[in-house]
């Protein structure tokens, strides 16, 4: 073995030892050479945190718009060594202080196959996500260390996470929802006082880059095909979701109506004494939280669970419109917080205080016997299936950016509920093909020519698409119908976000109904 090889092995050993010691805010992060990818909310929070810790940080980002430039200027002020913007620069692994990086912390949108990340992996450089960094710096002298409740699943993550947050706050605990839900996890962790609990929503992208998490309680709500374009296969996507259970301390919560999530728990490497607790929208078995005649009940966390159940809440405590999947989210949230010691009263008060949020099976209007419902958050077939199951007959507004998913099962399972379908999206050919195959007798009306353009060739922006879709739906609807906007697709082909799409629907419905009211007055 030559001297250069010995030196290289020694350097690798020293680097490994250093990373093993980086398990608190007070560890020695000074001088660590780090490349951070991305400069939006997540990337900014990562770079800001590392600079505060004393690391040498270089940020790379494909974006070079006004917001990126402003963020770059701020990061330089707080001590970030260098910020490199632009598509071409973002694919190259840069040097940090003239030397190779020791660590890469990536924003979740970057695929593992991204050239910069692939180059780092080839060099043996560790790659973390912001969640991994947050877990490692969560402990700091003089600051309260939060316990983590982690939530993932194909659908229902945000609803369940905010329910958990509401229940924890109802119990008088200092708690906040963070992670994929909007508040960057590092911003929450760096709070000066600290928290009793963090309710942490985690996407499959974020879970891919985690290694060390050991949550108090965890759940995978459900599993369905999604993000295959990012992960490469459904099996890889499922494997990332299963990481939610690793090292869980007290309770792994699983969906008793979906065997895949129970298998995840069975195969997880958890801490000694950790329990497996199921949730269901049916009558719960021993060791589960479930629903009996409109009541949310607990047969897992009471001494008398063998022959009785504790009432936690009524469906009406959640709201007037409580479809099955929303009750499932409530059951999962209740199981998570009951595992952490909350009382039935805390659960009920949390659900009463809970606001489901916009764009999630949101009742927009009831007019002339027609219910108008906005579920723009239904960005994949699994989420849209939950919405469709709640209504009949349905005029379905659907379509958008498909992300490579298959619509056959969705249409096959709900064809009998459909009165008509109004297609949006620049390319909804996959959904149209499934409709032709499994709902051939259902009227399907496209609001636009392929490519998102009118036949005249003029551009058709998202707001105009939705206005046209709502007008078409109104012409088809009659008393007893539900017009449901649950696209089963992402929004970015015609809208800036699912919220933009949902607001366009709400605005178009209100404009239509106001126009009708005005016409009726004049007549």
Q: Are strands 217-220 and 275-279 parallel, antiparallel or unpaired?
A: unpaired
Where residue 462 falls among pLDDT bands split at 50, 70, 90?
confident
Where residue 331 falls among pLDDT bands split at 50, 70, 90?
very high
Please identify which residue in the block is written with the tokens 């990012």.
230
What was the pLDDT predicted at 518?
A: 79
pLDDT in tens, 116-135: 999 999 999 999 999 999 99
What was the pLDDT predicted at 454?
A: 36
Please identify which residue in the block is written with the tokens 């739906």.
473
The residue among 391 and 18 whose pLDDT is bigger is: 391
The Cβ of residue 396 has, within 10 Å, a number of other Cβ atoms equal to 32
pLDDT in tens, 154-203: 888 999 999 999 999 999 999 999 999 878 999 999 999 999 999 999 99
Pick the closest to residue 380 from 262, 231, 219, 225 (CA basis). 225
**Range 29-125 classified under CATH 3.40.50.720:** yes
Are 364 and 506 in contact by the 8 Å Cβ rule? The answer is yes
Angle (CA) 170 175 180, round 5°: 120
Q: Is the pLDDT assigned to residue 139 strictly greater than 70?
A: yes
pLDDT in tens, 36-61: 999 999 999 999 999 999 999 999 99
What was the pLDDT predicted at 404?
A: 77
Share the mean pLDDT of the chain: 90
Give yes or no for a cis peptide into 393 (omega within 30° of 0).
yes
Q: Answer yes or no: is 153 a known binding residue.
A: yes
Q: Answer yes or no: is 155 a known binding residue.
A: yes
Where residue 363 falls among pLDDT bands split at 50, 70, 90?
confident
Domain ranges of the chain: 29-125, 139-353, 362-522
Are 145 and 194 in contact by the 8 Å Cβ rule? The answer is yes
Task: Give the CA distances from residue 392 to residues 162, 384, 388, 396, 417, in Å, rounded to whole numbers and listed in that order.
Answer: 28, 14, 8, 10, 5
Phi, psi of 60 (to 5 degrees): -125, 140
Where residue 321 falls among pLDDT bands split at 50, 70, 90?
confident
Common-topology check for domains 29-125 and 139-353: no
- What is the Cα–Cα distance from 248 to 339, expressed in whole angstroms? 12
Pick the closest to residue 186 from 222, 236, 133, 146 (CA basis). 133
What percentage of the chain carries pLDDT values higher than 70?
Answer: 92
Encoded tokens for 60: 């790379």
Q: Answer yes or no: is 5 a known binding residue.
A: no
- What is the Cα–Cα distance from 472 to 475, expressed in whole angstroms? 5
Q: What is the CATH number of domain 362-522?
A: 3.90.190.20
- Which run of H or of E encompasses 296? strand 295-298
Per-residue pLDDT, averaged over 464-493, amounts to 93
Are 91 and 68 in contact by the 8 Å Cβ rule? The answer is no
What was the pLDDT predicted at 2?
A: 58
What was the pLDDT predicted at 361?
A: 80
- Global pTM value: 0.76
- What is the Cα–Cα distance from 17 to 7, expressed in whole angstroms? 15
What was the pLDDT predicted at 234?
A: 84
Are 296 and 327 in contact by the 8 Å Cβ rule? The answer is yes
For residue 196, the 8-state DSSP code is S
Instruction: Classify 139-353 by CATH class.
Output: alpha beta
Per-residue pLDDT, averaged over 291-307, amounts to 94
Q: Answer yes or no: is 159 a known binding residue.
A: yes
What was the pLDDT predicted at 455?
A: 37
Chain-centroid distance, C-alpha 297: 26
Among 223-227, 385-389, 416-420, name the one with the lowest average pLDDT.
Answer: 223-227
What long-range pairs does 228-233 form, CB within 8 A, spacing at least 24? 228/403, 228/404, 228/405, 229/403, 229/404, 230/111, 230/204, 230/205, 231/204
- What is the Cα–Cα distance from 92 to 79, expressed in whole angstroms? 22
pLDDT in tens, 201-249: 999 999 999 999 999 999 999 998 666 666 668 889 899 999 999 999 9
The Cβ of residue 333 has, within 10 Å, a number of other Cβ atoms equal to 34
Are 427 and 446 in contact by the 8 Å Cβ rule? The answer is no
DSSP string, 346-408: HHHHHHHH----TTSSEEEEEETTEEEEE-TT--SHHHHHHHHTT-SSEEEEE-SB-TT---H
The Cβ of residue 207 has, within 10 Å, a number of other Cβ atoms equal to 23
Q: Answer yes or no: is 49 a known binding residue.
A: no
């Amino acid at each position: 073995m030559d001297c250069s090889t010995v030196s290289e092995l020694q350097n690798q050993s020293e680097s490994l030892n250093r990373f093993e010691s980086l398990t608190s805010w007070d560890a020695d992060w000074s001088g660590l050479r780090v490349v951070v990818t991305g400069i939006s909310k997540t990337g900014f929070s990562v770079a800001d945190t590392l600079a505060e810790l004393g690391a040498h940080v270089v940020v790379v980002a494909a974006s070079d718009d006004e917001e990126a430039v402003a963020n770059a200027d701020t990061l330089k002020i707080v001590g970030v060594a260098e910020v490199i913007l632009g598509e071409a620069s973002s694919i190259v692994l840069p040097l940090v202080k003239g030397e190779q990086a020791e660590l890469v912390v990536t924003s979740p949108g970057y695929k593992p196959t991204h050239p910069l990340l692939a180059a780092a992996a080839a060099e043996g450089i560790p790659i973390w996500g912001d969640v991994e960094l947050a877990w490692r710096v969560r402990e700091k002298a003089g600051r309260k260390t939060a316990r983590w409740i982690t939530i993932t699943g194909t659908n229902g993550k945000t609803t369940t996470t905010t329910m958990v947050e509401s229940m924890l706050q109802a119990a008088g605990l200092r708690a906040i929802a963070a992670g994929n839900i909007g508040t960057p996890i590092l911003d929450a962790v760096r709070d000066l006082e600290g928290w009793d609990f963090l309710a942490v929503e985690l996407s499959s992208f974020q879970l891919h880059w985690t290694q060390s998490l050991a949550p108090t309680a965890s759940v995978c709500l459900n599993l369905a095909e999604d993000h295959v374009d990012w992960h490469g296969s459904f099996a890889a996507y499922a494997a990332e979701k299963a990481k939610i259970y690793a090292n869980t301390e007290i309770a792994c919560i699983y969906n008793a109506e979906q065997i895949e999530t129970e298998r995840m728990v069975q195969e997880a490497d958890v801490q000694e004494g950790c329990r497996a607790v199921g949730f269901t929208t049916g009558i719960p078995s021993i060791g589960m939280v479930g629903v009996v005649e409109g009541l949310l009940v607990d047969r897992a966390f009471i001494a008398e669970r063998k022959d009785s159940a504790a009432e936690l809440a009524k469906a009406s405590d959640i709201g007037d419109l409580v479809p099955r999947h929303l009750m499932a989210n409530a059951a999962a949230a209740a199981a998570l917080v009951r595992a952490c010691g909350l009382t039935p009263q805390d659960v009920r008060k949390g659900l009463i205080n809970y606001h489901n949020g916009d764009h999630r099976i949101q009742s927009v209007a009831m007019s002339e016997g027609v219910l108008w419902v906005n579920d723009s958050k239904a960005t994949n077939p699994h989420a849209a299936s939950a919405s469709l199951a709640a209504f009949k007959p349905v005029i379905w507004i659907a379509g958008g950016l498909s992300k490579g998913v298959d619509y056959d099962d969705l249409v096959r399972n709900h064809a009998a509920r459909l009165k008509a379908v109004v297609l949006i999206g620049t390319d909804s050919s996959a959904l149209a093909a499934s409709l032709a195959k499994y709902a051939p007798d259902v009227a399907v009306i496209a609001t636009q020519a392929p490519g998102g353009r009118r036949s005249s060739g003029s551009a058709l922006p998202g707001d105009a698409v939705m206005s046209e879709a709502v007008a078409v739906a109104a012409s088809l609807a009659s008393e007893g119908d539900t017009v449901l906007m649950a696209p089963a697709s992402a929004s970015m082909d015609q809208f800036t976000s699912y919220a933009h799409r949902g607001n366009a629907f709400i605005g178009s419905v209100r404009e239509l109904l106001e126009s009708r009211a005005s016409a009726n007055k004049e007549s």
